[in-house]
Amino acid sequence: MENALVKLRRRDLLVSRRAIFSGVFGMLAARQGPLLAAATHVDIDYHGGSIYWPSGLARAAVGAGGVSRTKKEGDGATPAGTFSLPFGMYRPDRISLPKTDLPITPLRDVHAWVDDPNDPKYNQLVERPYTGHSEELWRHDGIYDLLIVVGYNMNPTQPGAGSAIFLHIARPGFSPTEGCIAVSREVLLKLIEVLGSDSRLTIRE
């Protein structure tokens, strides 16, 4: 069991750096608590082997190449920086999805992510059969039963700068990823309850 896990509380919503309410409404939210706070979303932060949110932290794994500001395709490193969390995906046959404001797409066995730098759809979601090289998202090991897409190397996409960076479920023992960030299933299910499309993930060395 995660000994570092601190249970998410409603005050996560109050202290988020990306609170929707400001001025008078922000003061009301602080005074009235959960009544107005439900409209806000948290930001999350990774450094030093842990992922942090406003009132908690949990163990996290990153790439075997560590955290890098010069991420390249296939180097096994996790990119440093602050990124959007545009949407998530989940296995409806394995996950009972909690309520979330984050856009979520059900995974299907045809889903894949293009990781060929020379492909015009590099670092994009596609459906198989697909002529270019891509990573299958429908996996047997469970790490992609629930995942959140990290908005790294998108809009615009730079060929060779890295692809398929996700926040996903960790392997047993928290072994290194191929460049993603991984947390326990329990933690990820809790986090998506307080994440939205306006949330941000900061990855630091």
Mean pLDDT of the chain: 86
Are 95 and 13 contained in the same domain?
Answer: no
β-strand 50-53 against 44-47: which pairing, if any? antiparallel
Are 23 and 81 contained in the same domain?
Answer: no
Q: Which carries the bigger pLDDT value, residue 97 or residue 20? A: 97
Query: CA nearest 73: which of 111, 120, 123?
Result: 123
Which residues constitute the domain of residue 35? 9-40
Region for 157 from its dihedrals, namely left if φ exceeds 0, alpha if ψ lies in -120 to 50, beta otherwise: beta
pLDDT of residue 110: 98
- Pull the structure tokens for residue 16: 């988020």
Within a domain: residue 177? yes
pLDDT of residue 166: 98
Are 24 and 101 contained in the same domain?
Answer: no
Say yes or no to pLDDT of 167 above 50: yes
Are 70 and 104 contained in the same domain?
Answer: yes
Are 125 and 194 contained in the same domain?
Answer: yes
Are 30 and 61 contained in the same domain?
Answer: no
Three-state DSSP state, 26: helix
pLDDT of residue 89: 98
Percent of the chain with pLDDT over 90: 78
Q: Is residue 64 a contact partner of residue 76, using CB atoms and an 8 Å limit? A: yes
- pLDDT band at 9; cut points 50, 70, 90: very low
Are 32 and 67 contained in the same domain?
Answer: no
- Counting the structural domains of the chain, the total is 2
pLDDT of residue 40: 63
- pLDDT band at 152; cut points 50, 70, 90: very high
pLDDT of residue 34: 38
Query: CA nearest 192: which of 125, 112, 95, 126?
Result: 95
Tell me what the mean pLDDT of segment 53-79 comes to. 96
Within a domain: residue 3? no
Distance (Å, whole) CA 33 – CA 39? 11
Within a domain: residue 4? no
pLDDT of residue 55: 77
Tell me what the mean pLDDT of segment 27-55 comes to. 68
- pLDDT band at 130; cut points 50, 70, 90: very high
